[in-house]
Chain A
């Protein structure tokens, strides 16, 4: 086989990396290059999406694998040992050069580097760390770096990874241990969780140290995240929600990504060759938001499910509200923040704006129209000055009126 040039390798190794949903470049420490004699790059808190692919996903980082060769045989993965895909491998220098060339042209915020496992977990992790270290120390790169962490790698390598990277992530892969052992026989759920636990230890420790000493070394200032594949096995949404909630509380993850299982070329014979369940994935993200920003407990999100499944026709908050009609309508001029956050259609920003605005005036429906994006939806659940939705909230067809046609998020909707 002829040697591949960088562009041909990029085609293979970007394709191999695209099933990882994470693209975030937010939430790291602020830094810039002004006044510096060398180096390049900045991070200002909010990440930037430099382009969007036709799959609607943001392109913020150069997301690639160092190599797609792998000694593991995880059924859901395009790079598994038994797959017939073409293999390629970047050198450390090639990844460094690509990152810098893209960054200088303002194509990306930084690098998200992962890899198939070659030779040993330690060897692979060492290569990943070398890329990050060279970017930081040799080239003074101050952009964003996300490194995939290999759970079985030696502790000193994980330590080094956190020194150079903004974010580390270990994928939990499947929502349950049973799913993991069925699809990824070489992976071990307990070991993955152990590695997440030790990452949390490092991150907490470093945060604590930077509070006391300004010069304390940073450790993954953008924290850790994970991803699980949805729809490859029979795990129900309620179990996924429980797993995610456990991950957030035990390991203080910044994000849990849900990746709808997507057909891949040369797929494993044990997986469903079906379209990815994109609407389900969307509902899971909404459920995730309810737990992180809206004060819902995992059990409350589970209460919004029908027999463990989140409805596809309405969002989880609406589903929850329809099952708790006795709590509505709420008086928008009196209800506390926690209660307003439970109103379908009211986001965190709208609730805060309502709280501030009602110090100045009694809110009417037309005021709500200025404060929210969806007055048609929220008015079924709210009492305002001059507005009482009695007729609406008791109507049996309320669900039908709030439901979106399932086609709206359909695959080929343009």
Chain B
């Protein structure tokens, strides 16, 4: 049994010299024990035969040297032996490393990846704290790597922070840079490092502000920034509170939805509504069909939603139901031009069937999404009297479902002092097949409208 004692845990030069000599002497891998000075080594082995002294040269591919330089930094005690086994095989098969399906190559690759990740995370997560010494500022960090990477990684910090004086303290070894030379000193403890820095509060503000609570993805964060690093990073103390509040903050934004549009007039409102995508109905529909009528109209009619023809024309109540509505208004003595006419939902909801578009009743999400527009129209117009044509309109104005049969023919007081009258939607009249019944319902609709005209006169 041969024993090789290396100077420190990532002593690549020591390993290379010994491995070269051992390989030249054809010593098989199982006859070599590798240990690091200072470690409690294999007591039996220490008594054994030392490695051959004669240095011999033979060449290995550059890729192997790179791999070995990285792998010696790993904390796995088997690393030196594994590398030596690979070295012996390389003499027979110089391109061994290309075969990533080989179990030994695969194992070394895994060690290399693990070291590379540790090196990368150290570059990412070291946090310097500024301290003032007699001869100026020094930046000091405390870091706990998984592997023996401090020596290998110090160059990065030199290249980046060469005009600063800095120290990176770790449990095993410390790296010190004075602006000109790099020194390695024995390990330190966390208490040797400063416990704060004035800039950290500003950094925490940044960390909290750049987080978007609507995109919470804790798993993704933990994958790249595992908890073991958190204790040495000043910003991570905020994480639990940010996660805890994210749900409420997002719900609040969604609940608040969009506030009433900042519009000065009905015309501005109509223009803003053109680009509305608050619900999916805007996709298949041709255009937004906004309300129309005088800006000072005391009477507001609210229908359900635009139909096929309204969708194409961009104006409310111009299709068959609109014509029925016009006829009934005339019969009741209400001039359409004096009223503001709009819909609860401003995009046509339909299902395509062949070349036809079949009307579909809008549901709560659409009515709710479109509610801001109806509310904004009401706020601009301030009508004395609102007429809901059909159940959907009544629900949109009141925020709850009502039965037309029970509510028609009487005023429902509204919060803003105006009142609501509920009646049927004129399209209902088009669907009644029995002409007698249709006639009776039409008369009743006209009577409702006439009653509303009288009530409006009384309110004026």
Q: Is B207 an interface residue (CB 8 A)?
A: yes
User: Bound complex: CA of A265 vs CA of B103, how far in Å?
Assistant: 55
User: On chain A, which size bracket covers the interface?
Assistant: 35 or more
Interface majority SS on A: helix, strand, loop or mixed?
loop
CA distance A260 to B280 in the complex (A): 16
Given A58-B224, A98-B202, A269-B260, also A360-B376 (CB < 8 A): no
Taking CB as reference atom, which chain A residue is nearest B208? A11
Known contacts A263-B250, A356-B98: does B225 contact A51 (CB below 8 Å)? yes
Q: Is B246 an interface residue (CB 8 A)?
A: yes
In the complex, whether B47 has a CB less than 8 A from a CB of chain A is no
- Residues of B within 8 Å of A359, CB to CB, are 98-99
CB distance from A366 to the nearest CB of B (A): 9
Binds A, one of B24-32, B213-221, B417-425: B213-221
Asked whether A353 lies within 8 Å of B100 as measured between CB atoms, the reply is yes
Contacts of A18 on B, CB cut-off 8 Å?
A: 209-212
**Chain B residues positioned under 8 Å from A50 (CB to CB):** 124-125
Are A54 and B216 neighbours in the complex by a CB distance under 8 Å? yes
Q: How far is the CA of A411 from the CA of B156 in the complex (A)?
A: 37
Contacts of A276 in B (CB 8 A): 214-215
Across the two chains, which residue of chain B brings its CB closest to A12? B209
Q: Is the CB of B197 within 8 A of A105?
A: yes
Chain B residues within an 8 Å CB radius of A56: 215, 217-221, 224
Is B428 interfacial (CB-CB < 8 Å)? no
Binds A, one of B269-277, B312-320, B432-440: B269-277
* Complexed CA–CA distance, A39 and B241 (Å): 38
B160:A41 contact, CB within 8 angstroms:
yes
In the complex, residue of chain A having the shortest beta-carbon distance to the beta carbon of B368? A273
For A7, the chain B residues whose CB sits under 8 A away are 201-202, 205
Contacts of A356 in B (CB 8 A): 98-100
In the complex, what residue of chain A is closest to B285 when comparing beta carbons?
A234
CB-CB under 8 A from A183, the residues of chain B are: 275
A17 to B99, Cβ gap below 8 A? Answer: no
Q: Is there contact, CB below 8 Å, between A264 and B253?
A: yes
Residue in B closest to A261 when the chains form the complex, CB atoms: B277
Within 8 A of A (CB), among B244-268: 246-247, 250, 253-254, 256-262
Number of A-B contacts (CB under 8 A): 244
User: Closest chain A residue to B168 by CB distance?
Assistant: A106
Q: Does A274 contact B (CB under 8 A)?
A: yes
* Residues A48 and B124 in contact, CB atoms below 8 Å apart: yes
| Contact between chains at B242 and A36 (CB < 8 Å) | no
Is A107's CB under 8 angstroms from B277's CB? no
Q: How far is the CB of B150 from chain A (nearest CB, A)?
A: 15
Interface flag for B65 (CB, 8 Å)? no
- A55 and B212 form a contact (CB under 8 A): yes
Task: Identify which of A27-35, A189-197, A202-210 touches chain B.
Answer: A27-35
- A34 CA to B276 CA, complexed, in Å: 56
Q: Does B215 contact A55, Cβ atoms closer than 8 Å?
A: yes
Q: In the complex, which of the residues B100, B160, B233, B282 has the most CB atoms of chain A within 10 Å of its own CB atom?
A: B160
A214 within 8 A of B: no
The answer, among B103, B163, B225, B279, for a CB contact under 8 Å with A36, is B163
Interface-facing stretch out of B126-134, B290-298, B396-404, B441-449: B126-134
* A104-B164 in contact (CB<8A): yes
Q: How distant is the Cα of A258 from the Cα of B240 in the complex, in angstroms?
A: 28
Which chain B residues lie closer than 8 Å to A38 at the CB level? Answer: 163
- Complex contact B224–A62 (CB within 8 A): no
Given contacts A6-B202, A370-B100, whether A54 and B221 have CB atoms under 8 Å apart is: yes
A140's nearest neighbour on chain B, judged by CB, is B163
Is A63 close to B, CB under 8 A? yes
**A270 adjacent to B207 (CB under 8 Å):** no
Inter-chain contact B218/A414, CB cutoff 8 Å: yes
The winner among A36, A50, A56 for most chain B CB atoms within 10 A is: A56
Among A33, A104, A353, A356, residue most surrounded by chain B Cβ atoms (within 10 Å)? A104
- Which of chain A's residues 85-141 have a Cβ closer than 8 Å to chain B? 98, 101-102, 104-107
Interface size class of B (residues with CB under 8 A): 35 or more
B418 CB to nearest A CB, Å: 22
Alpha-carbon separation in the docked complex, A32 to B163 (Å)? 11
Encode B286-317 as 1/0 by CB contact (under 8 A) with A. Answer: 00000000000000000000000000000000
Interface positions, chain B 138-166, Cβ under 8 Å from A, are 139, 141, 156, 158-164
On whether A104 and B221 interact (CB within 8 A), knowing A356-B100, A370-B101, A412-B216, the answer reads no
Q: Which residues of B contact A168 (CB under 8 A)?
A: none
Q: Is the CB of B100 within 8 A of A10?
A: no
With a cutoff of 8 Å between Cβ atoms, the chain A residues found around residue B275 in the complex are 75, 182-183, 270
1/0 per position for B79-113, CB-CB distance to A under 8 A?
00000000000000000001111110010000000
Does B199 sit within 8 A of A, measured CB to CB?
yes
**Nearest B-chain residue to A358, judged by Cβ:** B101
B35 → chain A closest CB, angstroms = 30
Find the A residue at minimum CB distance from B246: A54
B215: contacting residue among A17, A233, A262, CB under 8 A = A262
Complexed CA–CA distance, A357 and B97 (Å):
9
In the complex, what's the smallest C-beta–C-beta distance from B124 to chain A, in angstroms?
Answer: 5
Residues on the A chain within 8 Å of B235, using CB: 51
CB distance from A331 to the nearest CB of B (A): 16
Chain A neighbourhood of B243, CB < 8 A: 54, 414
Please, could you name 13 A-B residue pairs with CB atoms under 8 Å apart, sorted by A? A11-B205, A14-B209, A32-B159, A40-B163, A42-B159, A56-B217, A63-B210, A101-B202, A234-B282, A271-B277, A272-B277, A353-B100, A411-B215
- 8 shortest interchain CB distances as A-B pairs: A56-B220, A56-B217, A273-B257, A234-B283, A32-B159, A14-B209, A367-B101, A269-B261
Residues of B in contact with A (beta carbons under 8 Å apart): 98-103, 106, 120, 123-130, 139, 141, 156, 158-164, 197, 199-203, 205-221, 224-225, 233, 235-236, 239, 242-243, 246-247, 250, 253-254, 256-262, 272-280, 282-283, 369, 372-373, 376
What is the interface of chain A, defined by CB distance below 8 A to chain B?
Answer: 6-7, 10-12, 14-15, 17-19, 32-42, 44, 48-59, 62-63, 75, 82, 98, 101-102, 104-107, 182-183, 232-234, 260, 262-276, 278, 353, 356-357, 359-361, 363, 367-368, 370-371, 411-414
Task: Given A101-B199, A234-B283, output 20 extra A-B contacts at Cβ < 8 Å.
Answer: A14-B205, A14-B206, A51-B235, A53-B207, A53-B210, A56-B219, A57-B215, A101-B202, A105-B199, A106-B126, A182-B274, A266-B259, A275-B214, A275-B250, A357-B98, A360-B98, A371-B100, A411-B215, A413-B218, A414-B218
